[in-house]
Homo-oligomer: A and B are copies of this chain.
Amino acid sequence: MKQTVAIIGAGETGAGWAARFRVMGWNVRLFDPDDMARGLVGAVLQQARRGLPGLSDVALPEMGDMVFCQTISEAVEGADWIQECLPERLELKRKVFQKIQEHCKNATVIASSSGVFTVDELQGCATRPEQIIATHALAPVYLLPLVELAANDTNPPEVKARAKEVLQGIGMAPVEQQGEERVSVALQNALQAEADRLVAEGMASPSDISDVLRYGLGQRWAASGLDAPQDAVLVAMLRALKAQDAGAGVLLNRFDAAQAQPALDIKQPIPTVTRTVPLDWTDYNGHMNEARYLQAFGDATDRFMEIIGCDAEYIASGGSYFTVETHIRHLDEVHAGARIRIETQCLQGEGKKMQLFHRMFEGDRLLATGEHMLIHVSLDTRRASVPVDHIAARLGEIAKAHSALPVPDGVGQAIGVIK
């Protein structure tokens, strides 16, 4: 049986809460005096549906329903949680709490999203103050787990217990407030005030301050708060940013692009990847995870595509290669910090087809082979098509040169079949 949340006020915060509750399987009732709110809620929900479920490696419950209510009473009647997300005006909030309490169940938690008022203040004119707590979250509410949970002595223990249960159930991390201040608000204000001072005194531009946070300080705080971060965690975060080409990752990509590429001899297997195994590529068996072999082989394929002219510009124009089949043989283990290289032999390169054979080495030690069949496609129709002439010609030239090389061990082999 799905539970029902009533969201009162559907601005950015309300829309964020609505989206998180709904994606996490709750039915949602929304009330906002402004009909325009519906558009925002729809957009935020779409964002949340793209982002939030992917944070889990398991299936979430089926998404709940969502209705817009015409009145507060309709929204809160029988609801299992009430989240107030109105503008930060105490009298407004108090009036709405009275209205809510005329219609809601006595046992339901009424949680205010306020970042400024104390629980005492929020409970001020309430019929049943013991129902009212504060749960303050950061945007985007549907992604960031932090929620500051504030209660006082008027709230019986079961209210706080229920609040924790509900918040954890929708994937949040309640941090209990010890005093009257929201810690996140205080810290954010302190940092912003210092940033404003530095700008006002000509010590830094706003973009300098963002750079200092993105390239260093923020990484540390995100990894481990005020404690010293672990290297593996920083590496994983920096690599995630790199894959998104965002924040500090932009610099890492720029650095890579500035490194010299070796000269090309197409009569030999082509060196397509030379890299170090990153700290975040190893798994519980203490060696490079199987999926990372394919990631490295995929990078080798990307580099080979670039060499034949199927580069970012060409892909943007609507052509690309899709992998249709992959055969990997894992021959030896490799560990974080090892320098690996991949050599790529073109087995076939005619018409729509491109068949590649990658060999991965550490030094002279053969670690794995990857055989890949790719098909050229039109990105508009998502169907097979022939590449443009200059790509066909360059691919043909390499395929012809490589046809003089011996057929590699393991080509055309099925799993478990020893030739």
Residue ranges of A at the interface with B (Cβ–Cβ < 8 Å): 47, 49-51, 53-60, 137-140, 143-146, 148, 168, 171, 173, 175-181, 183-184, 186-195, 198, 201-228, 230-244, 246-248, 251-252, 255-256, 258-259, 273-281, 284-286, 289-295, 298-299, 312, 315, 320, 322-330, 333, 336-337, 339, 341, 348, 355, 371-373, 379, 382, 412-417
Across the interface, do B240 and A280 meet the contact criterion of CB distance under 8 Å? yes
Partner of A416, one of B217, B373, B416: B373
Partner of A325, one of B190, B216, B415: B415
Contacts of A194 in B (CB 8 A): 186-187, 189-191
**What are the nearest 3 A-B pairs in CB distance?**
A210-B225, A54-B278, A146-B216
The 30 listed contacts between A and B (C-beta, < 8 Å) are A53-B339, A54-B235, A54-B239, A54-B278, A55-B242, A55-B252, A58-B256, A59-B274, A146-B211, A171-B255, A173-B215, A177-B204, A178-B203, A187-B198, A189-B194, A192-B226, A212-B225, A217-B221, A222-B223, A222-B248, A230-B246, A233-B241, A233-B247, A240-B280, A243-B280, A244-B280, A289-B298, A294-B326, A323-B330, A326-B327
Across the interface, do B284 and A315 meet the contact criterion of CB distance under 8 Å? yes
Which chain B residue has the least Cβ–Cβ distance from A179?
B203
A408 CB, nearest partner CB in chain B, Å: 12
Specify how many copies of this chain sit in the oligomer: 2
Across the interface, do B213 and A221 meet the contact criterion of CB distance under 8 Å? yes
Contacts of A209 in B (CB 8 A): 183, 187, 225-226
Which chain B residue has the least Cβ–Cβ distance from A228?
B139
Which chain B residue has the least Cβ–Cβ distance from A203?
B179
Across the interface, do A236 and B241 meet the contact criterion of CB distance under 8 Å? yes
A231 CB, nearest partner CB in chain B, Å: 5
Across the interface, do B211 and A175 meet the contact criterion of CB distance under 8 Å? yes
With A327-B327, A415-B373 as given contacts, are A181 and B198 in contact (CB-CB < 8 Å)?
Answer: yes
Which chain B residue has the least Cβ–Cβ distance from A219?
B222
Across the interface, do A144 and B216 meet the contact criterion of CB distance under 8 Å? yes
Contacts of A137 in B (CB 8 A): 216
Across the interface, do B276 and A53 meet the contact criterion of CB distance under 8 Å? yes
Across the interface, do A295 and B284 meet the contact criterion of CB distance under 8 Å? no
Q: 8 other contacts beyond A173-B211, A326-B330, with CB at 8 A cut-off?
A: A57-B256, A171-B252, A177-B203, A181-B203, A211-B225, A222-B237, A230-B244, A284-B315
Across the interface, do B223 and A246 meet the contact criterion of CB distance under 8 Å? yes
A311 CB, nearest partner CB in chain B, Å: 10
Which chain B residue has the least Cβ–Cβ distance from A204?
B183
A360 CB, nearest partner CB in chain B, Å: 13
